[in-house]
Structure 1
Amino acid sequence: MLHAQIVLFDGFDLLDVSAPYEVLSAGANVSGGALSVELVSAEGPREVVSGSGGLVLKATGTLDPDKANLIIVPGAAGPINEPTDGSQLETIPILLARTQETRLPALMKQALDNPQVTVATVCGGSLALAMAGLLEGRHAVTHHLGMAALEATGAIPIQARVVDDGDLVTAGGVTSGLDLGLYLLERELGPRIALAVEDLFEFERRGTIWYNKGLEAAIR
Protein backbone atom coordinates (compact mmCIF):
# COMPACT_ATOMS: atom_id res chain seq x y z
CA MET A 1 0.00 0.00 0.00
CA LEU A 2 1.22 3.49 -0.87
CA HIS A 3 1.61 5.74 2.17
CA ALA A 4 1.64 9.53 1.87
CA GLN A 5 2.69 12.06 4.49
CA ILE A 6 1.79 15.75 4.19
CA VAL A 7 4.05 17.99 6.26
CA LEU A 8 2.81 20.70 8.59
CA PHE A 9 5.09 23.48 9.85
CA ASP A 10 4.32 26.69 11.69
CA GLY A 11 2.78 29.17 9.24
CA PHE A 12 1.87 26.59 6.56
CA ASP A 13 -0.68 27.48 3.90
CA LEU A 14 -3.98 25.75 4.62
CA LEU A 15 -5.02 25.16 1.01
CA ASP A 16 -1.58 23.78 0.13
CA VAL A 17 -2.30 21.06 2.68
CA SER A 18 -6.05 20.53 2.43
CA ALA A 19 -6.24 20.27 -1.37
CA PRO A 20 -3.82 17.35 -1.82
CA TYR A 21 -5.03 15.79 1.44
CA GLU A 22 -8.63 15.64 0.24
CA VAL A 23 -7.63 14.40 -3.21
CA LEU A 24 -5.41 11.64 -1.83
CA SER A 25 -8.00 10.69 0.80
CA ALA A 26 -10.61 10.36 -1.93
CA GLY A 27 -8.13 8.31 -3.93
CA ALA A 28 -7.77 5.98 -0.98
CA ASN A 29 -11.54 5.44 -0.90
CA VAL A 30 -11.95 5.07 -4.66
CA SER A 31 -9.06 2.60 -4.89
CA GLY A 32 -10.33 0.43 -2.07
CA GLY A 33 -7.51 1.30 0.30
CA ALA A 34 -4.50 1.24 -2.04
CA LEU A 35 -3.35 4.50 -0.46
CA SER A 36 -3.18 5.99 3.02
CA VAL A 37 -2.44 9.59 3.97
CA GLU A 38 -1.60 11.37 7.22
CA LEU A 39 -0.61 14.81 8.44
CA VAL A 40 2.83 14.92 10.07
CA SER A 41 5.40 17.36 11.38
CA ALA A 42 9.16 17.17 11.75
CA GLU A 43 8.67 17.40 15.52
CA GLY A 44 6.06 14.66 15.78
CA PRO A 45 2.39 14.74 16.78
CA ARG A 46 1.33 18.26 17.73
CA GLU A 47 -1.08 21.06 16.93
CA VAL A 48 0.36 23.28 14.22
CA VAL A 49 -0.78 26.85 13.61
CA SER A 50 -1.25 27.76 9.97
CA GLY A 51 -0.54 31.13 8.41
CA SER A 52 -4.15 31.16 7.21
CA GLY A 53 -5.80 33.20 9.94
CA GLY A 54 -4.22 31.13 12.70
CA LEU A 55 -6.31 28.05 11.92
CA VAL A 56 -4.84 24.97 13.61
CA LEU A 57 -4.43 21.46 12.20
CA LYS A 58 -3.15 18.49 14.15
CA ALA A 59 -0.18 16.48 12.97
CA THR A 60 -0.91 12.91 14.01
CA GLY A 61 2.50 11.48 13.15
CA THR A 62 6.19 12.21 12.67
CA LEU A 63 7.73 12.95 9.28
CA ASP A 64 9.53 9.69 8.46
CA PRO A 65 11.21 9.07 5.08
CA ASP A 66 11.57 5.40 5.98
CA LYS A 67 7.81 5.04 6.45
CA ALA A 68 6.41 7.12 3.60
CA ASN A 69 6.42 6.48 -0.15
CA LEU A 70 5.24 10.01 -0.86
CA ILE A 71 5.97 13.19 1.10
CA ILE A 72 4.28 16.50 0.27
CA VAL A 73 5.65 19.82 1.55
CA PRO A 74 3.31 22.86 1.42
CA GLY A 75 4.22 26.51 1.25
CA ALA A 76 3.53 29.22 3.81
CA ALA A 77 0.70 31.76 4.03
CA GLY A 78 1.03 35.42 4.95
CA PRO A 79 2.10 38.75 3.50
CA ILE A 80 4.81 38.63 0.87
CA ASN A 81 6.63 41.90 1.54
CA GLU A 82 7.79 43.62 4.72
CA PRO A 83 5.50 46.53 5.73
CA THR A 84 6.83 49.99 4.93
CA ASP A 85 5.87 51.39 8.34
CA GLY A 86 8.54 49.33 10.12
CA SER A 87 6.11 47.02 11.88
CA GLN A 88 7.02 43.35 12.18
CA LEU A 89 4.97 40.80 10.27
CA GLU A 90 5.55 37.12 9.68
CA THR A 91 5.94 37.29 5.92
CA ILE A 92 6.10 34.22 3.71
CA PRO A 93 9.90 34.53 3.28
CA ILE A 94 10.33 34.68 7.07
CA LEU A 95 8.10 31.66 7.64
CA LEU A 96 9.91 29.62 4.99
CA ALA A 97 13.30 30.67 6.38
CA ARG A 98 12.18 29.56 9.83
CA THR A 99 11.73 26.00 8.56
CA GLN A 100 15.49 25.90 8.07
CA GLU A 101 15.92 26.01 11.84
CA THR A 102 13.92 22.78 12.29
CA ARG A 103 14.62 19.15 11.43
CA LEU A 104 12.68 19.54 8.19
CA PRO A 105 15.71 20.12 5.88
CA ALA A 106 17.60 17.10 7.22
CA LEU A 107 14.57 14.86 6.97
CA MET A 108 13.78 16.05 3.44
CA LYS A 109 17.38 15.40 2.39
CA GLN A 110 16.97 11.89 3.74
CA ALA A 111 13.76 11.58 1.71
CA LEU A 112 15.39 12.79 -1.50
CA ASP A 113 18.27 10.36 -0.95
CA ASN A 114 15.83 7.46 -0.61
CA PRO A 115 14.96 5.93 -4.00
CA GLN A 116 11.73 4.55 -2.53
CA VAL A 117 10.36 8.05 -1.78
CA THR A 118 8.80 10.63 -4.09
CA VAL A 119 8.96 14.18 -2.73
CA ALA A 120 6.28 16.64 -3.85
CA THR A 121 5.66 20.29 -3.08
CA VAL A 122 2.92 22.85 -3.46
CA CYS A 123 3.61 26.55 -4.05
CA GLY A 124 6.37 27.76 -1.69
CA GLY A 125 7.14 24.25 -0.51
CA SER A 126 9.73 24.02 -3.27
CA LEU A 127 11.32 27.22 -1.97
CA ALA A 128 11.62 25.70 1.50
CA LEU A 129 13.58 22.81 0.00
CA ALA A 130 15.57 25.10 -2.27
CA MET A 131 16.59 27.31 0.65
CA ALA A 132 18.06 24.19 2.25
CA GLY A 133 20.17 23.57 -0.87
CA LEU A 134 18.18 20.48 -1.83
CA LEU A 135 17.03 21.53 -5.31
CA GLU A 136 20.28 22.61 -6.93
CA GLY A 137 20.21 21.44 -10.54
CA ARG A 138 16.66 20.13 -10.20
CA HIS A 139 13.71 21.22 -12.37
CA ALA A 140 10.98 22.79 -10.25
CA VAL A 141 8.18 25.31 -10.07
CA THR A 142 6.70 27.48 -7.35
CA HIS A 143 4.28 30.41 -7.16
CA HIS A 144 5.02 32.81 -10.01
CA LEU A 145 6.16 35.48 -7.56
CA GLY A 146 8.86 33.15 -6.24
CA MET A 147 10.36 31.89 -9.49
CA ALA A 148 13.33 34.28 -9.40
CA ALA A 149 14.09 33.28 -5.82
CA LEU A 150 13.89 29.62 -6.84
CA GLU A 151 16.38 30.17 -9.64
CA ALA A 152 18.74 32.04 -7.29
CA THR A 153 19.13 28.85 -5.23
CA GLY A 154 20.46 26.90 -8.21
CA ALA A 155 17.20 25.18 -9.12
CA ILE A 156 16.03 25.18 -12.75
CA PRO A 157 12.67 27.02 -12.86
CA ILE A 158 10.06 25.60 -15.25
CA GLN A 159 6.92 27.49 -16.26
CA ALA A 160 4.31 24.76 -15.80
CA ARG A 161 1.43 23.85 -13.51
CA VAL A 162 3.15 20.64 -12.39
CA VAL A 163 6.79 19.70 -12.93
CA ASP A 164 7.78 16.02 -12.83
CA ASP A 165 11.51 15.66 -12.26
CA GLY A 166 11.45 11.98 -11.36
CA ASP A 167 11.52 11.60 -7.58
CA LEU A 168 10.67 15.30 -7.24
CA VAL A 169 7.24 16.61 -8.31
CA THR A 170 6.49 20.29 -7.74
CA ALA A 171 3.39 22.39 -8.33
CA GLY A 172 2.78 26.12 -8.75
CA GLY A 173 0.48 28.44 -6.78
CA VAL A 174 -1.90 27.35 -4.04
CA THR A 175 -4.78 25.96 -6.13
CA SER A 176 -2.32 23.73 -7.98
CA GLY A 177 -2.47 21.43 -4.94
CA LEU A 178 -5.58 19.91 -6.51
CA ASP A 179 -3.77 19.30 -9.79
CA LEU A 180 -0.77 17.90 -7.93
CA GLY A 181 -2.88 15.46 -5.95
CA LEU A 182 -4.67 14.22 -9.06
CA TYR A 183 -1.42 13.92 -10.98
CA LEU A 184 0.14 11.89 -8.17
CA LEU A 185 -2.90 9.59 -8.13
CA GLU A 186 -2.58 9.09 -11.87
CA ARG A 187 1.17 8.50 -11.66
CA GLU A 188 1.02 6.09 -8.71
CA LEU A 189 -2.38 4.38 -9.00
CA GLY A 190 -3.33 4.93 -12.63
CA PRO A 191 -5.58 7.24 -14.66
CA ARG A 192 -8.86 5.53 -13.80
CA ILE A 193 -8.42 6.31 -10.10
CA ALA A 194 -7.44 9.91 -10.85
CA LEU A 195 -10.36 10.40 -13.24
CA ALA A 196 -12.81 8.95 -10.72
CA VAL A 197 -11.65 11.45 -8.09
CA GLU A 198 -11.70 14.29 -10.61
CA ASP A 199 -15.31 13.42 -11.40
CA LEU A 200 -16.17 13.13 -7.71
CA PHE A 201 -14.75 16.59 -7.03
CA GLU A 202 -16.31 18.10 -10.17
CA PHE A 203 -12.89 19.55 -10.96
CA GLU A 204 -11.13 19.79 -14.30
CA ARG A 205 -7.35 19.77 -14.21
CA ARG A 206 -5.67 22.60 -16.06
CA GLY A 207 -2.25 23.83 -17.07
CA THR A 208 0.86 22.14 -18.38
CA ILE A 209 2.51 19.10 -16.86
CA TRP A 210 6.24 19.18 -17.65
CA TYR A 211 8.24 15.95 -17.62
CA ASN A 212 12.00 15.57 -17.43
CA LYS A 213 11.94 13.00 -20.23
CA GLY A 214 12.73 12.76 -23.90
CA LEU A 215 14.91 14.82 -26.21
CA GLU A 216 15.82 18.43 -25.54
CA ALA A 217 14.02 20.87 -27.85
CA ALA A 218 16.33 22.36 -30.46
CA ILE A 219 14.14 25.49 -30.70
CA ARG A 220 12.61 27.18 -27.66
Structure 2
Amino acid sequence: MLAQVVLFDGFDLLDVIAPYEVLSAGGRASGGALSVELVSAEGPREVVSGVGGTPLRATAVLDPAKADLVVVPGAAGRIGEPGEDPDQDAGTGEWHEDDTVPVLMGRTLETDLPRLLKEAMDRPEVTVATVCGGSVVLAMAGLLENRYATTHRMGLDLLDATGANVVRARVVDDGDLVTGSSVTCGLDLGLYLLERELGPRIAHAVEQLIAHERRGTVWRAHGPEPLTF
Protein backbone atom coordinates (compact mmCIF):
# COMPACT_ATOMS: atom_id res chain seq x y z
CA MET A 1 0.00 0.00 0.00
CA LEU A 2 1.37 3.43 -0.97
CA ALA A 3 0.51 6.68 0.79
CA GLN A 4 1.42 9.94 -0.94
CA VAL A 5 1.52 13.08 1.23
CA VAL A 6 1.08 16.22 -0.86
CA LEU A 7 3.27 19.31 -0.60
CA PHE A 8 2.41 22.70 -2.11
CA ASP A 9 3.93 26.15 -1.60
CA GLY A 10 2.93 27.44 1.83
CA PHE A 11 1.78 24.08 3.22
CA ASP A 12 1.42 23.68 7.00
CA LEU A 13 4.43 21.77 8.30
CA LEU A 14 2.66 19.84 11.08
CA ASP A 15 -0.22 18.92 8.75
CA VAL A 16 2.39 16.99 6.76
CA ILE A 17 4.82 15.73 9.39
CA ALA A 18 2.23 14.31 11.82
CA PRO A 19 0.48 11.90 9.40
CA TYR A 20 3.76 11.18 7.59
CA GLU A 21 5.45 9.98 10.78
CA VAL A 22 2.41 8.01 11.98
CA LEU A 23 1.91 6.28 8.64
CA SER A 24 5.64 5.59 8.31
CA ALA A 25 5.67 3.98 11.75
CA GLY A 26 2.68 1.89 10.71
CA GLY A 27 4.62 0.74 7.70
CA ARG A 28 7.49 -0.41 9.89
CA ALA A 29 5.15 -2.07 12.41
CA SER A 30 3.40 -3.97 9.60
CA GLY A 31 6.60 -5.25 8.05
CA GLY A 32 6.38 -2.98 5.02
CA ALA A 33 2.66 -3.28 4.22
CA LEU A 34 2.56 0.52 3.90
CA SER A 35 5.09 2.91 2.40
CA VAL A 36 4.92 6.71 2.49
CA GLU A 37 6.40 9.39 0.25
CA LEU A 38 6.25 13.16 -0.08
CA VAL A 39 4.97 14.36 -3.45
CA SER A 40 3.96 17.51 -5.30
CA ALA A 41 1.86 18.22 -8.37
CA GLU A 42 5.04 19.24 -10.19
CA GLY A 43 7.17 16.24 -9.24
CA PRO A 44 10.47 16.14 -7.33
CA ARG A 45 11.34 19.59 -5.97
CA GLU A 46 12.02 21.51 -2.78
CA VAL A 47 8.73 22.89 -1.45
CA VAL A 48 8.71 25.78 1.02
CA SER A 49 6.26 25.54 3.92
CA GLY A 50 4.29 28.41 5.40
CA VAL A 51 5.96 27.85 8.78
CA GLY A 52 8.98 30.13 8.72
CA GLY A 53 9.75 29.12 5.15
CA THR A 54 10.94 25.68 6.27
CA PRO A 55 11.36 23.47 3.18
CA LEU A 56 10.67 19.79 2.60
CA ARG A 57 11.62 17.87 -0.52
CA ALA A 58 9.02 16.15 -2.65
CA THR A 59 10.60 13.02 -4.07
CA ALA A 60 7.92 12.13 -6.63
CA VAL A 61 4.89 13.45 -8.49
CA LEU A 62 1.38 12.94 -7.12
CA ASP A 63 0.14 9.92 -9.04
CA PRO A 64 -3.49 8.85 -8.43
CA ALA A 65 -2.94 5.74 -10.56
CA LYS A 66 -0.14 4.63 -8.23
CA ALA A 67 -1.28 5.78 -4.78
CA ASP A 68 -3.71 3.96 -2.50
CA LEU A 69 -3.91 6.88 -0.07
CA VAL A 70 -3.44 10.60 -0.75
CA VAL A 71 -3.03 12.98 2.20
CA VAL A 72 -3.64 16.70 1.60
CA PRO A 73 -2.47 19.29 4.18
CA GLY A 74 -3.70 22.80 4.74
CA ALA A 75 -1.64 25.97 4.57
CA ALA A 76 0.08 28.05 7.24
CA GLY A 77 0.50 31.81 7.14
CA ARG A 78 -1.19 35.01 8.18
CA ILE A 79 -4.82 34.38 9.15
CA GLY A 80 -6.20 37.10 6.89
CA GLU A 81 -9.11 39.49 7.19
CA PRO A 82 -12.79 38.58 6.77
CA GLY A 83 -13.81 38.91 3.13
CA GLU A 84 -10.25 38.85 1.83
CA ASP A 85 -10.13 37.46 -1.71
CA PRO A 86 -8.65 33.94 -1.57
CA ASP A 87 -7.53 34.15 -5.19
CA GLN A 88 -5.51 37.33 -5.01
CA ASP A 89 -2.00 36.97 -6.41
CA ALA A 90 -2.88 33.42 -7.46
CA GLY A 91 -0.34 31.75 -9.68
CA THR A 92 2.73 33.69 -8.59
CA GLY A 93 4.39 30.46 -7.40
CA GLU A 94 6.07 32.27 -4.54
CA TRP A 95 5.71 32.24 -0.77
CA HIS A 96 5.91 35.37 1.34
CA GLU A 97 5.75 35.74 5.11
CA ASP A 98 2.74 38.07 4.90
CA ASP A 99 0.70 35.71 2.69
CA THR A 100 -2.66 34.74 4.15
CA VAL A 101 -3.86 31.15 4.48
CA PRO A 102 -6.70 31.72 1.92
CA VAL A 103 -4.21 33.17 -0.58
CA LEU A 104 -1.85 30.22 -0.19
CA MET A 105 -4.64 27.72 -0.68
CA GLY A 106 -6.10 29.76 -3.55
CA ARG A 107 -2.80 29.50 -5.41
CA THR A 108 -3.15 25.73 -5.58
CA LEU A 109 -6.01 26.31 -8.04
CA GLU A 110 -3.49 27.65 -10.55
CA THR A 111 -1.42 24.45 -10.41
CA ASP A 112 -2.08 20.90 -11.60
CA LEU A 113 -3.11 19.89 -8.08
CA PRO A 114 -6.92 20.23 -8.52
CA ARG A 115 -6.87 17.98 -11.61
CA LEU A 116 -4.77 15.35 -9.85
CA LEU A 117 -6.95 15.45 -6.74
CA LYS A 118 -10.08 15.08 -8.87
CA GLU A 119 -8.52 12.08 -10.57
CA ALA A 120 -7.75 10.58 -7.15
CA MET A 121 -11.30 11.19 -5.92
CA ASP A 122 -12.75 9.70 -9.10
CA ARG A 123 -10.93 6.43 -8.35
CA PRO A 124 -12.96 4.46 -5.77
CA GLU A 125 -9.90 2.42 -4.83
CA VAL A 126 -8.04 5.56 -3.68
CA THR A 127 -8.71 7.12 -0.27
CA VAL A 128 -8.17 10.88 -0.09
CA ALA A 129 -7.50 12.19 3.43
CA THR A 130 -7.07 15.78 4.58
CA VAL A 131 -5.70 17.57 7.61
CA CYS A 132 -7.09 20.94 8.74
CA GLY A 133 -7.35 23.22 5.68
CA GLY A 134 -6.66 20.36 3.29
CA SER A 135 -10.42 19.89 2.97
CA VAL A 136 -10.69 23.59 2.09
CA VAL A 137 -8.24 22.98 -0.76
CA LEU A 138 -10.61 20.27 -2.03
CA ALA A 139 -13.63 22.53 -1.52
CA MET A 140 -12.05 25.41 -3.43
CA ALA A 141 -11.43 22.99 -6.29
CA GLY A 142 -15.13 22.03 -6.28
CA LEU A 143 -14.52 18.47 -5.06
CA LEU A 144 -16.58 18.30 -1.86
CA GLU A 145 -20.14 18.82 -3.04
CA ASN A 146 -22.51 16.49 -1.13
CA ARG A 147 -19.59 14.93 0.76
CA TYR A 148 -19.38 14.74 4.56
CA ALA A 149 -16.29 16.61 5.74
CA THR A 150 -14.75 18.71 8.47
CA THR A 151 -11.96 21.27 8.70
CA HIS A 152 -10.58 23.92 11.04
CA ARG A 153 -13.41 25.90 12.64
CA MET A 154 -12.42 28.99 10.61
CA GLY A 155 -13.07 27.15 7.35
CA LEU A 156 -16.39 25.49 8.13
CA ASP A 157 -18.44 28.25 6.46
CA LEU A 158 -16.45 27.83 3.24
CA LEU A 159 -17.09 24.08 3.22
CA ASP A 160 -20.79 24.75 3.69
CA ALA A 161 -20.81 27.38 0.92
CA THR A 162 -19.24 24.93 -1.55
CA GLY A 163 -21.90 22.28 -0.96
CA ALA A 164 -20.20 19.99 1.55
CA ASN A 165 -22.13 18.41 4.41
CA VAL A 166 -20.25 19.95 7.33
CA VAL A 167 -19.66 17.78 10.40
CA ARG A 168 -18.20 19.27 13.57
CA ALA A 169 -16.04 16.32 14.53
CA ARG A 170 -12.33 15.75 14.96
CA VAL A 171 -12.19 13.08 12.23
CA VAL A 172 -14.90 12.34 9.65
CA ASP A 173 -14.95 9.11 7.61
CA ASP A 174 -16.97 9.42 4.40
CA GLY A 175 -15.72 6.24 2.77
CA ASP A 176 -12.99 7.13 0.31
CA LEU A 177 -12.74 10.60 1.89
CA VAL A 178 -11.43 11.02 5.45
CA THR A 179 -11.01 14.52 6.87
CA GLY A 180 -9.42 15.90 10.06
CA SER A 181 -10.51 19.16 11.64
CA SER A 182 -7.37 20.93 12.83
CA VAL A 183 -3.61 20.83 12.73
CA THR A 184 -3.12 18.39 15.62
CA CYS A 185 -5.63 16.03 13.99
CA GLY A 186 -2.85 14.81 11.72
CA LEU A 187 -1.94 12.38 14.51
CA ASP A 188 -5.53 11.21 15.05
CA LEU A 189 -6.15 10.95 11.32
CA GLY A 190 -2.99 8.91 10.77
CA LEU A 191 -3.81 6.51 13.61
CA TYR A 192 -7.38 6.06 12.37
CA LEU A 193 -6.16 5.34 8.84
CA LEU A 194 -3.76 2.71 10.24
CA GLU A 195 -6.61 1.09 12.16
CA ARG A 196 -8.89 1.15 9.13
CA GLU A 197 -6.35 -0.09 6.59
CA LEU A 198 -3.92 -2.25 8.61
CA GLY A 199 -5.92 -3.16 11.70
CA PRO A 200 -6.21 -2.01 15.34
CA ARG A 201 -3.14 -3.89 16.56
CA ILE A 202 -0.87 -1.94 14.21
CA ALA A 203 -2.58 1.34 15.12
CA HIS A 204 -2.29 0.56 18.84
CA ALA A 205 1.42 -0.22 18.53
CA VAL A 206 2.04 3.15 16.84
CA GLU A 207 -0.17 4.89 19.39
CA GLN A 208 2.04 3.49 22.15
CA LEU A 209 5.20 4.43 20.24
CA ILE A 210 4.26 8.10 19.90
CA ALA A 211 2.45 8.26 23.29
CA HIS A 212 -0.67 9.80 21.79
CA GLU A 213 -4.25 8.67 22.38
CA ARG A 214 -6.82 9.59 19.75
CA ARG A 215 -9.54 11.95 20.95
CA GLY A 216 -13.24 11.77 20.25
CA THR A 217 -15.32 9.46 18.10
CA VAL A 218 -14.64 9.18 14.38
CA TRP A 219 -17.87 10.35 12.70
CA ARG A 220 -19.41 8.09 10.08
CA ALA A 221 -22.86 8.14 8.48
CA HIS A 222 -23.82 4.87 10.17
CA GLY A 223 -26.45 4.05 12.75
CA PRO A 224 -29.71 5.77 13.69
CA GLU A 225 -30.09 9.54 13.41
CA PRO A 226 -29.66 11.05 16.89
CA LEU A 227 -32.40 13.17 18.42
CA THR A 228 -31.73 16.88 18.90
CA PHE A 229 -30.66 17.72 22.45
Q: What TM-score, normalized to structure 1?
A: 0.95
Alpha-carbon separation, structure 1, partners of 2:42 and 2:5 = 13
Alpha-carbon separation, structure 2, partners of 1:215 and 1:42 = 40
Match of 1:51 in 2: 50
Which moved further from structure 2: 208-217 or 64-73? 208-217
Unaligned runs of 5+ in 2: 83-96
Number of matched residues? 215
Following TM superposition, the consecutive aligned residue runs of length 4 or more in structure 1 with deviations greater than 4 angstroms are none
Q: SS at the partner of 2:38?
A: strand
Unaligned runs of 5+ in 1: none
Decide whether the 8 Å contact of 1:41 with 1:62 is kept in 2: yes
What displacement does 1:82 show?
Answer: 4.1
Q: SS at the partner of 2:172?
A: strand
Alpha-carbon separation, structure 1, partners of 2:193 and 2:210 = 16
Match of 1:152 in 2: 161
Match of 1:33 in 2: 32
- Where does 1:22-171 land on structure 2 (aligned, <5 Å)? 22-82=21-81, 89-171=98-180
Alpha-carbon separation, structure 1, partners of 2:143 and 2:129 = 13
Decide whether the 8 Å contact of 1:82 with 1:89 is kept in 2: no
What displacement does 1:39 show?
Answer: 0.1
Q: SS at the partner of 2:77?
A: coil
What displacement does 1:80 show?
Answer: 1.0
Q: What TM-score, normalized to structure 2?
A: 0.91
Alpha-carbon separation, structure 1, partners of 2:28 and 2:201 = 13
What displacement does 1:135 show?
Answer: 0.1
Alpha-carbon separation, structure 1, partners of 2:127 and 2:134 = 14
Alpha-carbon separation, structure 2, partners of 1:34 and 1:212 = 28
Decide whether the 8 Å contact of 1:166 with 1:212 is kept in 2: no
Query: What are the Cα deviations for residues 106-141 of structure 1, in whole angstroms up to 9, with x where unaligned?
Result: 111100110110000000000000011100111100
Query: What are the Cα deviations for residues 32-74 of structure 1, in whole angstroms up to 9, with x where unaligned?
Result: 1010000000000000000000000000000000000000000
Equivalent AA in structure 2 for residue 139 of structure 1: Y
Alpha-carbon separation, structure 2, partners of 1:43 and 1:196 = 35
What is the percent sequence identity of the aligned residues? Answer: 69
Q: SS at the partner of 2:219?
A: strand
Match of 2:224 in 1: 215
CA RMSD after TM alignment: 1.3
